[in-house]
Amino acid sequence: MNDSAVHDIFVIGGGINGCGIARDAAGRGYSVVLAEMKDLAAGTSSASTKLIHGGLRYLEHYEFRLVREALMEREVLWTMAPHVIWPMRFVLPFHKGGPRPAWLIRLGLFLYDHIGGRKLLPPTRTLDLTRDPAGGPLKPLFGKAFEYSDGWVDDARLVVLNARDASRRGADIRIGARVTSARRENGHWTIETRQGDAAPKSTVRARMLVNAAGPWVDSILVDVLGLNDTHNVRLVQGSHIVVRQKFADPRAYFFQNPDGRIIFAIPYQEEFTLIGTTDSDYRGDPGEVAISDEEIDYLCRSASDYFAAPVTREDIVWCYSGVRPLYDDGASKAQEATRDYVLKMEADGGKAPLLNVFGGKLTTYRRLAEHALEHIGEAIGPKGGSWTAGSHLPGGNFPVEGFDALVRALAERYPFLAPPHVRRMARLYGTDATAILADAKNPADLGRYFGGDLYEVEIRWLMREEWARHAEDVLWRRTKQGLHLSKEEARTLEDFMITVPRH
């Protein structure tokens, strides 16, 4: 299939950076096509620690610009999507002889509180862990802690919501479309994609190409564009374990390890605790990354150094692992490599321009997109100005501190739903929850039941509105109901989805 139109921008990659750029560009009036070879957020963007944070430890590496930009973004993003982003308090225990002295941590937190324009988030305070409930799950050697603010995000949903809004503003989002070639012809790009090995190729022409393929960004340059000896990113593996709930407190923990690295222990999906992340160089295929036995042992051991009740392999209910494509700045250790993003434009001699996106993180994706649009405007002409800071993502059009009121309104409208089900619908979909549940008066109105609290109306919505194609897309990215469904129930869901016509 050939697309006769010449679009303004073709974006490769359906992670947070690609979808953020597509949304911003479509909102300014550019015609945009985005191709993702697997599923939205199938790679790095669903394998994060799921934080909207300034990066407290980045201060040690003097990345003040990145930290300040990230801190400023916390409340901007919270306001944009208060259903999938919300504030969280972090408890940082310390003791004499720890890897960082208390005065240094306090200095870092002072900067953290004051360089990012914090308005709604509460400031740092000191805790006496012998009196504060946060000390309950910890070993008694931790008598003091600092408590500070950052944010939590449902990372995969943030990506999907950006793609939905981009589509709503005119972008053509193509899921399962692998880019097989891209070449410059007659002042524009000719890009070929294929939806599955047996499908015919589709050809798209665009004035500009944006390579936002994350861990595959160098692979695109070599395998698709035919460039040689390309090395721009350093692949760093980060792995996480999910265990049965270790503590009931809504706060998260920030643990410092003797080797200088840090891990988090975070309340997760109401019934679980998320522990991560590791930080090690990765040299394999990003599509085959998996947590190693060594990483599992490291996370269990590190968390057990702090918790009074040890974390063991038997506690683990799920693991996940991802590859972060950090810009290769030559750092000797993976944890010292810059977390900042780098944008590189190639448009010499009147050639059709190419923008390569290296690095980046969830917290700064919106600002990265704005900077990308500056380059795009210089290359193919500007359209519109910055607009996303005051916008809402789909379902997020309610007051930033109005989530509990939204839950109450849903519970009143759908009294037959169990409270955890109501809260989950509000968290995933915000004000769009009523579009999914519609005029349902009882569980029978929700259609076929698949396990957990998943019903047919939600599955059909995810397929129609959010490009879900397989059970995995639903269970581990659009929702986390994979934690509650059996393997047999997951197979039943996959069989059902195969029968539903694609939109």
Show me where the domains of the chain are located: 2-44+157-232+339-390, 83-152+234-330, 403-499
User: Tens digit of pLDDT for each residue in 187-204?
Assistant: 999 999 998 766 788 999
CB atoms within 10 A of CB 100: 15
Matching residue, tokens 């002409």: 381
Mean pLDDT of 365-381: 97
- Percent pLDDT > 70 in the chain is 96
Q: Which residues in 421-445 are b (16+ Cβ under 10 Å) and which e?
A: bbbbbbbbbbbbbbebbeebeeeee
Q: CATH top-level class for 83-152+234-330?
A: alpha beta
pLDDT at 349 over 80: no
Better-predicted residue by pLDDT, 11 or 119: 11
Rounded Cα distance between 130 and 144, Å, is 8
CB atoms within 10 A of CB 132: 17
What does the mean pLDDT of the chain come to? 93
Find the length of the chain: 503
Predicted local confidence at residue 42, as pLDDT: 97
Question: Minimum mean pLDDT among 106-110, 358-362, 430-434: which range?
Answer: 106-110
Predicted local confidence at residue 331, as pLDDT: 61
3-state secondary structure 443-473: HHHHCCEEECCEEHHHHHHHHHHCCCCCHHH
Determine which helix (DSSP H) or strand (DSSP E) holds 493, and give its type and residue range: helix 487-499
pLDDT at 337 over 70: no
Mean pLDDT of 252-259: 93
User: Tens digit of pLDDT for each residue in 96-118?
Assistant: 767 777 878 888 888 888 888 88
Residue 368's closest CA among 24, 57, 14? 24
Predicted local confidence at residue 336, as pLDDT: 57
- Helices and strands of the chain, counted as H and E runs: 13, 20
- As to burial, measured by CB atoms within 10 angstroms (0-12 exposed, 13-18 middle, 19+ buried), residue 450 is buried
Rounded Cα distance between 164 and 366, Å, is 15
Better-predicted residue by pLDDT, 199 or 285: 285
CA atoms within 13 A on the CB side of 8: 22
Mean pLDDT of 227-231: 79
Domain 403-499: which CATH number of 1.10.8.870, 3.30.70.1070, 3.40.50.720, 3.40.50.10800: 1.10.8.870
Largest CA distance in the chain: 71
Radius of gyration in angstroms for the set of CA atoms belonging to the chain, rounded to a whole number: 23
CA distances to 64, 65, 339 from 113, rounded to whole Å, are 13, 15, 20
Rounded Cα distance between 264 and 276, Å, is 5
Residue 78's closest CA among 112, 22, 118? 118
- As to burial, measured by CB atoms within 10 angstroms (0-12 exposed, 13-18 middle, 19+ buried), residue 289 is buried
Question: Minimum mean pLDDT among 61-70, 163-172, 219-228, 346-355: which range?
Answer: 61-70
Mean pLDDT of 126-145: 95
- Percent pLDDT > 90 in the chain is 81
Contact assessment for residue 411 and residue 404, using Cβ atoms and an 8 Å cutoff: no
Determine which helix (DSSP H) or strand (DSSP E) holds 148, and give its type and residue range: strand 144-153
Rounded Cα distance between 88 and 53, Å, is 10
Q: pLDDT class for 503, splitting at 50, 70, 90? A: low
Predicted local confidence at residue 333, as pLDDT: 58
User: Tens digit of pLDDT for each residue in 440-472?
Assistant: 999 999 999 999 999 999 999 999 999 999 999
Predicted local confidence at residue 328, as pLDDT: 82
The CATH homologous superfamily of the domain defined by 2-44+157-232+339-390: FAD/NAD(P)-binding domain (3.50.50.60)
First to last CA, the chain: 18
pLDDT at 224 over 90: yes
Mean pLDDT of 47-62: 85
Rounded Cα distance between 192 and 1, Å, is 10
